[in-house]
Amino acid sequence: MQTRSHLLRPETLNAFGNLELLARSVVEGMLLGLHRSPVFGFSQEFAEYRAYRDGDDPRHVDWNVFARSERMVIKQFQGDTNSHLMIVLDASASMSFGEPVSKLDYARMLAACLAFLAARQHDAPGLTVFDESVLRYLAPSRRPGAQSALLATLENLEPGQGTRFQPALESFLGRVGRRGMVAVISDFHRDPEVLLERVQPLCLAGHDLVLFQVLDAEELRPRARGPRLLRDLETGEAVEVSPDFLARDYPERIQRHVDDLRTAVGRAGGHHLLLETQQPLGPALRDYLKFRQHRR
């Protein structure tokens, strides 16, 4: 069961009740899968040698090589990065949408898994939760207690108000000087060009940016059985839409929005992943690792 937990459906995982257990199950299950993969080898395995530079930890010097050749080389292992991962999580009201697993629940599980995966890779996970403002900020840290605090924060998340990316991203930029990974989890119901302006400073600052766009199936393919009065969860604005529009026009629009977002993020040098709340988390993590590997 443990080996397949990364493929469990989100509604099943959501019933775990313990994010740490959930993240561990998903990540380790996924990693076991990767070991069997001919493409991805990920563990504390030897990768290469490189010349010792000042500042390198002497514990990583391969003394056997030094004894034979009097050259000091450092043994390089996969996953040994000493980087950090900042998870920027959108907890606005729109993230509460979705049945049976809300987008916020899904994002919560995704964030936990990412944090757990980062810890396994010796990255320091951090967390920024925001809606219209920054709700919580946890600085990236590899301290044992930091991960527990992060998971506890995620467990206690409640949907907030509207969505403003600028305060969260500016706050992050102001606090974290080192370059690292930035994973933004949101539904991104914003103009892609505006969003581009917000995230571009992250990329320019040298961060590797990946956007996890979490959407519910109802947002991508809404029911069109009759006219519906749809009320925006953040603004309260209600719009009467015809079934014809929901059946034909809206799916095209949301797909175009996703494509535009992907294009905009790509222009900024980031990566975009679309996740449906019905999808298992494992593939999302695999995509993330693939992206991360390519960046290295």
Partner 1 sequence: MSFAAPGFLLGLLLLALPLWLHRLRTASNQSEPFASVRLLEAAAQRVHVARRIRFWVLLLLRLALLALAALAFAQPLLKGKAAVAGEPAHWLVIDVSASMARPALAQAQAAAVDAALAAVPPGVPVGVVAAAERARIVSAPTTARAQVRQVAAELPATPSRVDFGALVEQLPDLLQATDGTPAVAYLISDLQATAMPDRFSRVVPPRALTLALYPVRGSDRNTSIASATVDASELVVTLAGDTAGAQVQVLVGGGAAATLDYAGGGSTRRAELDLLPEENRIELMLGDSDGLTLDNRYFLLEDQSPPEQVPLLTSRGDATPYLVSALRAIDPDAAFAPEPLLDFDPRRLSRYRWLAVEDLGALDDRQAQAFASYLENGGRLLAGAADDSVSRSQLPVTEQTVGELPLTPEYQLGGVAADHPILADLDLPDLLVSRALNIQPGDDDVPLVWLADGRPLLLIHQRGAGQAIVLNGGFGREWHDWPLQEGFVPLLGAMVEQLSGRARFEEQAFVGQLLSLPADGEISYELLPPDGDSLFGMALGSTGVTLSQVGFHSVHGSDGSLRTVAVNVPPVESDLTPLAPDVLAQWEASLAGSVAPDPLVTATVGNEPAPDRRLVPLLLALLVLAALVESAAGNLMMRKPV
Footprint of partner 1 on this chain (CB under 8 A)? 94-95, 97-98, 103, 187, 189-190, 215-216, 219, 226-235, 237-242, 245, 249-250, 253-254, 257
Smallest separation (angstroms) from partner 1 to the CB of 4: 31
- Asked if 195 contacts 165 with a C-beta cutoff of 8 angstroms, the reply is yes
Nearer to partner 1, 67 or 229 (CB): 229
Nearer to partner 1, 50 or 253 (CB): 253
- Asked if 269 contacts 20 with a C-beta cutoff of 8 angstroms, the reply is no
User: Per-residue b/e over 84-107, b at no fewer than 16 CB within 10 Å?
Assistant: bbbbbbbbbbbbbbbeebbbbbbb
Edge-first strand order for the sheet with 124-130 is 134-138, 124-130, 84-90, 181-186, 208-215, 271-276
Nearer to partner 1, 15 or 194 (CB): 194
Question: Which residue(s) pair with 20 in the sheet?
Answer: none
Smallest separation (angstroms) from partner 1 to the CB of 161: 14
Smallest separation (angstroms) from partner 1 to the CB of 43: 39
Nearer to partner 1, 97 or 288 (CB): 97
- Which of 96, 116, 120 minimizes the C-alpha distance to 35? 120
State the CB neighbour count (10 A cutoff) for residue 254. Answer: 16
Please give the sequence-ordered ranges of beta strands (E in DSSP) within 122-174, or none if there are none. Answer: 124-130, 134-138
Nearer to partner 1, 6 or 103 (CB): 103
Smallest separation (angstroms) from partner 1 to the CB of 227: 5
Smallest separation (angstroms) from partner 1 to the CB of 164: 14
Nearer to partner 1, 189 or 198 (CB): 189
Smallest separation (angstroms) from partner 1 to the CB of 201: 24
DSSP, collapsed to helix, strand or coil, labels residue 46 as strand
